[in-house]
Amino acid sequence: MRQVLQVCLLLLLLIISVDGFYIPGTATDYQDGDYVQMDANVLTSINTHLPYEYYSLPYPRPAGYPKSVMKEESENLGEILMGDRIRKSPYKEVQVGVPFNCKPAGDAVRMDSEKRKQFEERIKDDYVVHLILDHLPVSVQNLETNSFSIGFPIGAKEGGQYVLYNHLSFLVKYHPTTTMVGAESKEVKRIVAFQVKPHSYDHKISADGKIESCTEQFDPSSGPAVSTNA
């Protein structure tokens, strides 16, 4: 097993028409090509009730944001009271109306025994990751019950070993509408749903650190999983 963790980002964008209403001041208008910042919140568990900051685990960090300068984002009073700790996530390639199949979220992270133990302990305690896009929390859909849960698990136990979810398939839904800019109307899009399907995939890493398996034809459900075992 390669001692490397590589988190990759798989993003799918779907524009849909949704009937509803907006509370003034809460909706952000976007146009195709606009970048949307994805933030990371705390890791939580219903078993321990002890939250951890996102980068308490050795996830890839955004370029230009080393550990020493990873400051908290501005948080409102409600977020502080709820124990939220907002950070910039490594997923920075999110553009409105621009889908893609596979992109690395950051540089490969070497998985020594200590890092593997960190991930395994969080998986054992059923910790989930909370990401935020345009103030919406990421959710996972249960197709059998047609229900949604907030956040996604760090990993799971499969075949007697713990596997790490290191590949995320995102689905972002929009509501197309019009807004007035002066005396003219403009076509815009507003994000109405943010979903994810996590996968575990043991990517092929070249000698120079390139992700050889991360291509436009990549299928995250087609290969071996990443185990936390040494």
Beta-bridged to residue 170, according to DSSP, are 11, 196
Cα separation, 229 vs 14, in Å, equals 37
Instruction: Give me the average pLDDT of each 10-residue run along the chain (230 residues).
Output: 46 44 64 90 93 90 56 52 75 84 76 88 96 93 90 92 89 85 85 90 77 77 68
Cα-to-chain-centroid distance, residue 203: 18
In the block, tokens 């996968």 appear at: 199
In the block, tokens 């815009």 appear at: 188
| DSSP character string of the chain | --SEE--EEEEEEEE--------TTS---B-TT-B--EEE--BB-TTT---B-GGGS-PPPPTT--GGG-PPPP--HHHHHTT---EE-S----BTT--EEEEE-SS-EE--HHHHHHHHHHHHTT-EE-EEETTEEPEEEETTTTEEEESEESEEEETTEEEE--EEEEEEEEEEEEEEETTEEEEEEEEEEEEEEEE-----B-TTS-BTT-STT--TTSSPPEES--
Dihedral of the alpha carbons of 209, 210, 211, 214, in degrees to the nearest 10: 170
Q: Write down the pLDDT at residue 207.
A: 77
170 C-beta neighbours (distance < 10 Å), count: 20
- Quote the tokens at residue 194: 């943010």
Cα Dmax for the chain: 64
Find out whether 142 and 151 touch, Cβ atoms under 8 Å. no
Q: Write down the pLDDT at residue 83.
A: 60
Strands 8-15 and 167-181: parallel
